[in-house]
Structure 1
Amino acid sequence: HRRGVKSKPCMFLAALSFAYFAKALSGSYMKSTITQLERRFDIPSYLIGIIDGSFEIGNLLVIAFVSHFGAKLHRPKIISIGCVLMSFGTFLIAMPHFINDRYKIETSIRSSVNSTSSLSPCPEGSPESTRTGCERESSVSLWIYVFLGNVLRGIGETPVQPLGISYIDDYTQSENTALYIGCVQTVSIIGPVFGYLLGSLCAKIYVDIGYVDMETVTITPSDARWVGAWWLGYLITGTITLMSAVPFWFLPKSLPMPVDKHDTNCTPEQTRFIKDFPTMEHKFRSEEPADLHQMAKEFVPTLKSLLGNPVYMIYLCVTIIQFNSLIGMVTYKPKYIEQHYGQSASKEPSLFSDCNSGCLCSRREWDPVCGENGITYVSPCLAGCTSSSGAGRNTVFGNCRCVALADTQSGNLTATLGQCPIRESCDKIFPYFLALSVLSSFIISLGGTPGFMLLVRCIKPELKCLALGIHTLATRTLAGIPAPIYFGAIIDTTCLKWGYKTCGGRGACRIYNTTAYRIVYLGLTLGLRTVSFFFCILCFALLKRHVEMEEKNALTDGSAESESLRKEENSSIHCEQFILTLDSSPDRETHL
């Protein structure tokens, strides 16, 4: 029986670790697919930021109530229900792939060009002729399914952290709590590793694999129009998340409470008595009646008491600013790596020149070709090419006048489909970038467990669960929602070439100014981190003052208690002397 009782916290720890892994896996996979979603639905980065922030909107809707009421209900089952909702939300995100038409590549290269021939300098037909079926396509915005699915993921994720951490803190030895929380967070760090790895694998698979003949696909994964099988990873992560819900359903509402968390009113004799008997070694947490009306009446006073704690409020400000930096950085890191380390030198600044002036090329076209000179051109038309040979992705364009003018060679220089390979210098620098990223992530993670311990120790025990919930609520609302949006809007300002939708209007960005991207992306991240450090200093000062006051109060209380004991002893002595006097008096009855 005792072995079974002791194994329950370990079972909950294992289940919570798996749930943390599952939610980190799906969350990081979501981050890794933002570029694929942006291309698939032809939307700019700021709109992708709104979709990414919808997860936090789901948290915002229910987190305060889950944290307050959930602590007094069956916490493991609530976490289980949350995992089920997360999985359903993940499946909903993948739904547009199964109800949408096949992906149409934005291209100006005609499919009839399948052999050596002369290319017309003008595109066939007028721009209006390409708008067939526009009303039907524009009437449905399928990214809404992704938005709603991410909201549902956010709702389901809500109870995992506050209820899980508070459950561990309630039913584990005080000296082991930090270790267990650290174990959970360590396992959750593994989730993003597999999430980004899964995202990388799915990105190499064409989005409509199994539905189209891959020989007819003229682009490669290095092309800015390539869309990977983004939906496949959501099916995998949704299944794993659903599996994580199972163990919580079989865990009890409460576990045996450790001896060091018993009621402090117990006398030493009572404590020794409990320890001497195995069946009484633990005391179960008292079950509170689920009086929702009473809990609702206590909510506002409890919230005021929590927000009146200055150490808690400053810590909240620190984490909000740091989460703005972290979330914005993580959301657009895959895009940053792709643009900064995966792009070659491109001719954007001067699209038109004498070499292509007679071609009547369109600015809106995006059919990148790589010239023999190592320069990527926006389209074969803008490269001055007048002939082609081959078919599909093996098409080669010849007589490219712009390529010849930019190169010292002479003759019939050619261009091939797709962007030029990345520069060797990028290959050499990228490992250093990864090493610095790992080092910075390690340094940032060092404050995770101490931060949680500070959070739960600087407040009253009865406010612990609500404090965790409000902390998560604030970071989701003031960091998780706005950070991806304003990071995306600022990144959009560095776009060099926008894609255009079939029905007209701006679509997704095809290529960015990598220098400007680097400055705004890293500069904004660093600026937010710097501001948070000033709040950290203020937090440490308040914490030091709080500790000094506690020590002073403890000394004062100790002196007062000693004086009270001394007076009680004196009073007891006088009382005993008075009683002895009465007992020894001959006329005792008179005195009485």
Structure 2
Amino acid sequence: MSQQQYAEKPGAEQDEPSEKYGCLRFKPACLQRMNTIKVHVFWQCVFCFFEGFIVNGVINVVLVALEKRYSLPSSRSGLIASANDFGSIICSVLFGYFGEKRHKPRLMGTGILLMAAGSLVFSLPHFIGEAYKYKVSADVNASTNICHLDDNVTDTCSTRAAADDTIANSVVMYYGLLMVGNILLGIGAAPMFTIGLSYIDENCKAKLTALYIGWTFSSAAVGVAAGYVVGGQTLSLFVDIDKVDPASVPLTPADPQWVGAWWIAPLIATLGFLAVAFPIYGYPKRLPSYKEVQKARASEAHGGNDELTAKVNFGKSWKDFPKSIWFLVTNPTYVFICFGAAVEALIIGGMATFGAKLIQEKFNVDITYAGTVMGIITIPGSGGGMLLGGYLVKRFNLKCRGIIRMCAAFMVAACLCGPFMLAQCPNDPVYGMDSPYMQGSPASGLVSGCNELCGCTTEGFEPLCAQGIIFFSPCHAGCTDSITIDGKKTYANCSCLANATTALSTNTSPSDVTSFQPGKCSGSCPWLYVFCAMFLVTMVLTFATMSPGVAALFRCVPDNQRSIGIGVNLLFVRLVGKLRFETFHMLNM
């Protein structure tokens, strides 16, 4: 290990950029209190909060609402979630290479403004589209999905095909806007997570890098939690709350046809990005502490390429790009750090995208509750883990070798927790599908003597529950009446109820169950608590490697390759880890 030398060249003072905080020529003395690495890290934390809020929080929790609102299959919604990675994959490498020797705060501010535009575009489908059309009638005494014994219900193929064509044409535009919005979010975040991290590293002491990066990553984790909570709460509001009177809507959040106000949270993120972009713009190319920090650094880079990459003109043209990549891929320490980050993405990527939906399906809870649970787990899990990792590096003043060993131990422990997260609650049987309509008779489908004259369809799953008994829809339960009391919809006069109570419970009489509540049955299941506890432990162990991993990456490459190093690392993680896991998880939902 040799001390890096920084010789002053003749005329360097004239070429040295201003180290004062401000915009253009407006750089008053009162603003120079902000011109420190700690205050800059604060603004990066604010940015990371809103980035985590929208990208990994809100978008993930509103996927179910988007699927219902725009008739999207899980494969399409999975692509929406991955669109952020599509935008950042190439841009991370480009910003990492060309941004290293340019004005980093200005590039970061521009990226943040681009993210504000992306959040706005993501919410546009709601404002340019028509009001949501649901199947349940607004008339409290009528429903399109109850038993109509006197009606000859028909649904011709031509009528259905025409409706499907109309929906398909409009969905293409909305789907495109959702994709474009998330791609812009990915492109805009690329500067902050490449040159932004190297800006922190080059302006602070080596032992503080992991701690400061841990602060920023923890802020992103808190943002994710806030996104899940806020997104879950906004989903309890009707999607067209700005277009119709919510009191006139007969649906409730427990109704399978309910679509929440998914578009509110992206607008909040837009305002947040606008608020943080301009303070970031004001920072100089280098903070006043830069020279002192660099003189105290000792190189831990592998391969001895410091002298070549430290040349003034290295990295300013395309001809040096292949050399930069070659130095990275021939650095074994760097390559193994990238593989470790990819494994980390395999563990976290799919759960971050489909975590709320997974909890909803595995434990029979509504999406609002599932989003809240994910938010509660995310704050101490991911945020606490990253703070723990950064603190341990600072506390023990770990070098590159020690950081890598610590991260490896955490990852092994996280993998051992995996089997415990297979826990799930048993699904209540759907009457006519999982259980026969008559006791002792084979399950023969959804049609029985109690509903064969109702003209029921199977186009939409609209479950009803009564004491653990689930019917496919009010029509399949033989219900002829629907009643709304205090905004809650119930169904009555259900002819199939007697068969259900006879078949599923000999101790339950029809008089005990006089009406059905929309939605699946909710019950106590201790496995939810087991799942949450082990998921929390796994998150702490996994996220404890993130900020130390970045610090180790910065130590094992030459200084002028820090940004391109983190950019290629992000490219590798998204290609090998996160994208592949999300695609696999998406196909198995």
Range into which the TM-score falls when normalised by the shorter chain: 0.7 to 0.9
Secondary structure, counterpart of 2:459 in structure 1: coil
Secondary structure, counterpart of 2:465 in structure 1: strand
Q: Deviations over 1:4-28 (max 9, x none)?
A: 5894222221221211112111111
Aligned to 1:270: none
TM-score, normalized by length of structure 1?
A: 0.72
Q: Deviations over 1:231-250 (max 9, x none)?
A: 01110011112212111111
Cα pair distance change 1:46/1:254, threshold 3 Å: same
Matched to 1:307, the amino acid is V
Matched to 2:47, the amino acid is A
Pairing 1:339–2:361 present: yes
Cα pair distance change 1:123/1:375, threshold 3 Å: farther
Q: CA RMSD in A?
A: 3.1
**Whole-angstrom CA distance in 1 between matches of 2:520 and 2:297:** 72
**Whole-angstrom CA distance in 1 between matches of 2:472 and 2:449:** 16
**Whole-angstrom CA distance in 1 between matches of 2:463 and 2:96:** 52
Question: Does the 8 Å contact 1:54/1:481 carry over to 2?
Answer: no
Give matches, 1:145-544, under 5 Å: 145-256=177-288, 257-259=290-292, 261-262=294-295, 295-343=317-365, 345-347=428-430, 348-349=433-434, 350-371=445-466, 373-388=467-482, 396-407=490-501, 408-410=508-510, 414-423=514-523, 425-426=524-525, 428-491=526-589
Rg larger in 1 or in 2? 1
Alignment match of 1:50 (pick from 48, 55, 79):
79
Q: Which moved further from structure 2: 214-223 or 341-350? A: 341-350
Matched to 1:88, the amino acid is A
Q: Deviations over 1:85-122 (max 9, x none)?
A: 011001100000001011111448987728xx983265
Q: Deviations over 1:298-339 (max 9, x none)?
A: 111121111111222222222223212311111111001222
Structure 1 residue 377: Cα displacement: 1.0
Cα pair distance change 1:410/1:470, threshold 3 Å: closer
Aligned to 1:275: none
Structure 1 residue 251: Cα displacement: 0.5
Cα pair distance change 1:123/1:186, threshold 3 Å: farther
Question: Does the 8 Å contact 1:384/1:400 carry over to 2?
Answer: yes
Q: Which moved further from structure 2: 64-73 or 119-128? A: 119-128
Matched to 1:262, the amino acid is K
Question: Does the 8 Å contact 2:465/2:518 carry over to 1?
Answer: yes
Matched to 2:579, the amino acid is I
Pairing 1:18–2:46 present: yes
Pairing 1:37–2:69 present: no
TM-score, normalized by length of structure 2?
A: 0.72
Count of aligned residue pairs for this structure pair: 465
Secondary structure, counterpart of 1:355 in structure 2: coil
Unmatched 5+ stretches in structure 1: 266-285, 492-592
Q: Deviations over 1:474-493 (max 9, x none)?
A: 112333333323211111xx
Secondary structure, counterpart of 1:415 in structure 2: coil
Secondary structure, counterpart of 2:200 in structure 1: helix
Structure 1 residue 396: Cα displacement: 4.3
Matched to 1:345, the amino acid is D
Structure 1 residue 462: Cα displacement: 2.8
Structure 1 residue 66: Cα displacement: 0.6
Structure 1 residue 81: Cα displacement: 0.3
Question: Does the 8 Å contact 1:92/1:146 carry over to 2?
Answer: yes
Q: Deviations over 1:168-216 (max 9, x none)?
A: 1112122322222222222222211211111111011000013223344
Secondary structure, counterpart of 1:332 in structure 2: helix
More helix per residue: 1 or 2?
1
Q: Deviations over 1:259-304 (max 9, x none)?
A: 3522999xxxxxxxxxxxxxxxxxxxx9957x98x52111111211
Structure 1 residue 252: Cα displacement: 0.3
Pairing 1:9–2:37 present: yes
Unmatched 5+ stretches in structure 2: 1-18, 21-28, 299-309, 366-426, 435-444, 502-507
Cα pair distance change 1:472/1:104, threshold 3 Å: same
**Whole-angstrom CA distance in 1 between matches of 2:147 and 2:428:** 28
Question: Does the 8 Å contact 2:497/2:510 carry over to 1?
Answer: no
Cα pair distance change 1:352/1:261, threshold 3 Å: same
Q: Percent identity?
A: 26
Alignment match of 1:138 (pick from 147, 168, 191):
168
